[in-house]
Amino acid sequence: MATLIDMPKLSDTMTVGTLVKWLKNEGDPVASGDMIAEVETDKATMEVECFDDGVLIRQYCGVGDEVAVGGAIAAVGEAGEEAPAAETNAPATATPESEPSPVAEAPTPAPAAPGPAPEVVPEPVVVTTSTTGSRIKASPLAKKIAAEKGIDLDTIHGSGPSGRIVKADVENAQASVATPAVAQAVSPEPVEPAATLKAMEIPVSNMRKSIGKALVASKTQAPHFYLQIEVNGAPLAALRKELNSKLASLPPEHGGTKFSVNDLTLKAAAEAVCRVPAINRSWEGETIQQHPNVHLAFGVAIEDGLVTPVIRSAETKGLREIGAEAKALIKKARGKKLTPNEMSGSTLTVTNLGMFGISDFYGIINPNNAAILSIGATIKKPVVNENDEIVIGQVMKIGLSGDHRTIDGAVGAQYLQALKEILESPAIMLV
């Protein structure tokens, strides 16, 4: 008997997921533990696991479709078995013409799973405005594909009901819109760059919606205050150079590794909490929670936005362990493999834009942390040394955004002082 695979709840705040990629096609054999699809949640793009053996006999949704948590996305059964009817529980959105929002276009069944032809119903319609001011009716999936390919919906004739543009119309238009672009590139007529630009709307992903919602809440509910301190970055740079010169050439089985500035600042941030534990608190409404362990989050930029994986109990881990764990989490983040548990429960966050040449900035606090550290680039600039001489120094600026409900400026200042002492005498992190 066929088994339905539902849209799983992959985070505490998730209500819907967007199907972004099928990893298995209809008719493919599947086994328990296989990943069958990639789903975009409000936090990241994650894979959906199959828990049965058999054949994927039906896909109930297409790429770009939103499905509510608990709604069916696929059915697994025996080859030739008829797929059961199922509800995707797709969120209903009324069109401007007050038409009912239909279910997305049903996928064509694979030859390995024969059965009655599925009823093809129109894709949901979205009305947008063209570059000429006229109204265009297009399905969300068609609109998404057009935005990704840079195709002007103005140039497409819709084949759907009432002339609405569907997925097939956009896909068929790709070849035709590519030809004029090539011809224009070799045209002897000079073309102003601005003339080739097209206004377009970029669909907001679930991740960007989640980022927007969380950070607006943080910025409006948590009264931010800001502090900054300058650190002599030369000792840290010297330690990193020495460690990497000895370790980078060794094979991993002999202790070989390579440390980044981010590895060193993460370790220093955790060490500084041991000196000023009051920074490791969170606002809980009626109480302030003092955390015994430093669950250290750090920002990782990915294509869809920003994720903050967490190193648990960072204060108990050495530099090598923190570096290895950070690299593993970064790799998982960029491969869209992070689990909800790996992105939740932080007590302090570090964000680093130094690799982009940004010298100083202030992050928005990660709810419900008391603070977020902002690490800037190490910049060579004139400084006055202990002999009152002007010399070339290596200056790193570190910003702190604090939640004034949880901590005061004095706590933030004490923490930055402790962090400065550690970074300027970084060998103590190795003891």
Non-local CB neighbours of 149 within 8 Å, separated by 6+ positions: 170, 174
The β-bridge partners of 19 are 39
- Given a contact cutoff of 8 angstroms between Cβ atoms, the answer to whether 139 and 164 are in contact is yes
- Given a contact cutoff of 8 angstroms between Cβ atoms, the answer to whether 88 and 107 are in contact is no
Task: Return the sign of the alpha-carbon dihedral for residues 180, 64, 137, 194.
Answer: negative
Non-local CB neighbours of 375 within 8 Å, separated by 6+ positions: 261, 262, 265, 350, 351, 352, 353, 354, 396, 398
| Preceding peptide of 368 cis, ω within 30° | yes
Distance, CA of 424 to CA of 394 (rounded, Å) = 11
Q: What Rg, from alpha-carbon coordinates, does the chain have?
A: 27
Catalytic residue among 157, 224, 295, 404: 404
User: Token digits for 314?
Assistant: 């960072």
Distance, CA of 403 to CA of 74 (rounded, Å) = 45
Active site residue 224: no
Distance, CA of 409 to CA of 43 (rounded, Å) = 31
Distance, CA of 375 to CA of 146 (rounded, Å) = 38
Q: How many residues does the chain have?
A: 431
Distance, CA of 137 to CA of 100 (rounded, Å) = 14
Q: What is the DSSP letter of 117?
A: P
Residue at token pair 């094979």: 251
Non-local CB neighbours of 373 within 8 Å, separated by 6+ positions: 265, 269, 348, 349, 350, 351, 363, 398, 399, 400, 419
User: Token digits for 68?
Assistant: 């509510």
Q: What is the DSSP letter of 407?
A: -
Non-local CB neighbours of 112 within 8 Å, separated by 6+ positions: 26, 27, 55, 79, 80
Q: Is 273 left (phi over 0), alpha (psi -120 to 50) or beta?
A: alpha
Active site members: 404
